[in-house]
Amino acid sequence: MNILTLVLYELQEATLLAWNAFKGLFKRPFYFRDFIEQMDGIGVGSLIIIVLTGFFTGAVLTLQSGDTMASFGAKGLTGQLVATSLIRELGPVLTSLMIAGRVGSGIAAELGSMLVTDQIDAMRALGTDPVRKLVAPRLVALLVMVPALCMICIAVGIFGGWIVAQLLLGVSPAQYFRSAEDAFKRNDLLGSVIKAIIFGLIIGVVGCRSGLRTRGGTVGVGRSTTQSVVVASILIIAADFFVTKALQSFLPPGR
């Protein structure tokens, strides 16, 4: 099987997996408890990582751009630069990459372990659909929690930028936040949420697909885990370009 055929096959299988998962949401039984547990594990479990990522990203942005902005006499616009960078690009991308590393790998490892230990076959024997029971809750949880974590990352990043701007650049809080407020445009915020939803779907589909195609026992579980992180990260970065280009056409930035 050549590389093109393999890519098309994996794309087909991933699409079918996502379709069957979402189609199963409207059939009984409804696994509400699994949805809540996955949201808790993905959202609350990733909160510290996202807060630290957002804080230090905003701090570094301010630190790197402060002198440059001052040389143009625009040090007071540092808040707008930080907020715009986080909202349009860094917030959704960094959040998704962190989630891919923490949650995507966990999904692949968990499903892969269940597959090699025949737990998934046992579920089928008992009449339970593994896609509805295992895949659907994880996909929905990621679609809900990744945008929420993205907003938290943006907010914390702006706060981190304010700390550095006040302590090292001498920018007053009123000036910083007044400038940052100018970056909150409807289209930019909506675009950030759309990006986060698409990236969350990528993480979920890649993680579940990698786990459910595990072969070779425990060695295969490790291989699937690594593959999940690498593939999801590459797809997030690649999809970011195309999504950004589409958003520039349908949701012009700065409005």
1 band by pLDDT with thresholds 50, 70 and 90: low
Is 106 within the bounds of a domain?
yes
What pTM, to 2 d.p., does this model score? 0.92
Is there a domain that residue 214 lies in? yes
Give pLDDT, residue 136: 92
Within a domain: residue 192? yes
1 in a domain, yes or no? no
Could you tell me which residue, 126 or 255, shows the higher pLDDT?
126
DSSP line for 62-89 = HHHHHHHHHHTT-GGGHHHHHHHHIIII
What mean pLDDT value characterizes the chain? 90
Task: Supply the pLDDT for residue 48.
Answer: 95
Amino acid at 138: R
**Whole domain around residue 191: which residue ranges?**
8-250
pLDDT of the residue at 117 = 87
Of the two residues 186 and 239, the one the predictor is more confident about is 239
Residue located via tokens 């909160």: 47
Give the type of residue at 75.
K
Q: Does residue 49 fall inside a structural domain?
A: yes
The predicted pLDDT at position 173 comes to 86
- Residue 75 forms part of a structural domain: yes
In a domain, 2, yes or no: no
Q: Which residue has the higher pLDDT, 5 or 240?
A: 240
| pLDDT tens, residue by residue, 50-104 | 999 999 999 999 988 877 777 777 777 888 889 999 999 999 999 999 999 999 9
Q: Quick check: 42 pLDDT over 70?
A: yes
pLDDT tens digit string along 187-219? 889 999 999 999 999 999 999 999 988 887 778
Q: How many domains does the chain have?
A: 1
Six token digits for residue 40: 């808790």
CA distance readout (Å), 80 to 49, 139, 187: 24, 34, 16
Helices first, then strands: H and E counts in the chain:
12, 0
Confirm whether 255 is domain-assigned: no
Residue length, the chain?
255
Q: To 10 degrees, the CA torsion angle through 34, 38, 44, 45?
A: 130
Written as six digits, the tokens of 145 are: 């929690």
